[in-house]
Structure 1
Amino acid sequence: MNQDFETFLRRFEEANTAFVNGDPSLWLPLVSRSEQSSIFGGFGGQEVGWSEIGPRYEWASSQFRDTGGTVDFEYLDTYVGADTAYTVAIERCTVHHATQPAPVPHELRATMIFRLEDNEWKITHRHADPLSPRTSPPGP
């Protein structure tokens, strides 16, 4: 793995932990300001371009209360090219949703795409959804 990307990935992990503790301040500087960026976030929906992504990330982080917990990352696949990288991971932590009385386990399947912009890695796409057990399709 490219050393610069490894350093960025540690910053991303720290920012992700702050994010699920209600603080987006480390996360937002890592996000591309490009209109060719997108998210399919853990709370559903889809946003495209910084004008939608920035406010959505701020809103999503505000849905969490500080537990002091950290996110554990299980990287299933990682690729780093000259100007593009991706990770496929399971993110596990305990979170306290603003609407819930107590912290709960939080497990997401997360696919992240990163792009090198002005010599800095930036998040250009995040697709995260709850990790659920494997099931068969419903019958007729």
Structure 2
Amino acid sequence: MTMNSGITDAELADLIATMDQAADAYIRGDIRQYLSLFDHADDYTLMAPYGGETMPAFDRTDEQLEETSRFFASGEATFDVDQSYVSGDLAVLVGVERQHGVVGGLPDQDWSLRLTLVFRRAGSRWQIVHRHADPLVRQIPFEHCAALARGLDSGPPRE
């Protein structure tokens, strides 16, 4: 089934270019620049790269923004899109944020993430509706994946 899209190729290219700028701003800790590029929808969800429960909102408090700016101290990033999908006013981008930086007080390191991003166009702005990120850019052995799934690499085993 073919879906008609109201999103042009040029608009999709602009969205991808803006996401590239956003990734670079975020890894540098420039959260205010990042937030100037996109809005986070009221129904935004985040599946963070370090796992855990899905977070149902984006915390824009000054305290949280300052904490994020300190956590992501410096770095560089680009967003490489592997696939994109559009339907109506929705766009989905699948790709890799190829980045390195000083994150969480650790020395500069590769911090590349696989991403699935869902955007919704609201007037002339894009809203991020969903972000799912994971650090599995490089393949890991099945046994390691199974151990992570069992919680063996994240503290005491679960009962």
TM-score computed with the length of structure 2 as normaliser: 0.71
- Secondary structure of the structure 2 residue equivalent to 1:4: helix
* Mapped contact 1:64–1:96 kept (Cα < 8 A): yes
- Alignment partners' CA distance in 1, 2:17 and 2:70: 23
Match for residue 65 of structure 1 among 60, 63, 73: 73
- Alignment partners' CA distance in 2, 1:77 and 1:104: 26
Q: Percent identity?
A: 23
Quick one: structure 1 residues 77 and 15, their matched pair in 2 at CA, closer, same or farther if it must change by over 3 Å? same
Q: Where is the helix percentage greater, Structure 1 or Structure 2?
A: 2
* Mapped contact 2:41–2:128 kept (Cα < 8 A): no
What amino acid sits opposite 1:99 in the alignment? G
- Is 2:40 aligned against 1:32? yes
Tell me the equivalent position of 1:108: 113
Gaps spanning 5+ residues in structure 1: where?
none
- Secondary structure of the structure 1 residue equivalent to 2:105: coil
CA-CA distance at 1:57 after TM superposition: 7.3
Q: Note the 1:10-21 alignment, pairs <5 A.
A: 10-21=17-28
Tell me the equivalent position of 2:51: 44
- How many residues are paired up? 133
CA-CA distance at 1:103 after TM superposition: 0.3
- Secondary structure of the structure 2 residue equivalent to 1:10: helix
4+ long deviations beyond 6 Å = none
Quick one: structure 1 residues 5 and 57, their matched pair in 2 at CA, closer, same or farther if it must change by over 3 Å? farther
- Secondary structure of the structure 2 residue equivalent to 1:16: helix
Gaps spanning 5+ residues in structure 2: where?
1-7, 148-159
- Alignment partners' CA distance in 2, 1:88 and 1:2: 16
Tell me the equivalent position of 1:4: 11
Quick one: structure 1 residues 60 and 84, their matched pair in 2 at CA, closer, same or farther if it must change by over 3 Å? same
CA-CA distance at 1:64 after TM superposition: 1.2
Q: Larger Cα Rg: Structure 1 or Structure 2? A: 2
- Alignment partners' CA distance in 1, 2:140 and 2:25: 30
What amino acid sits opposite 2:85 in the alignment? Y
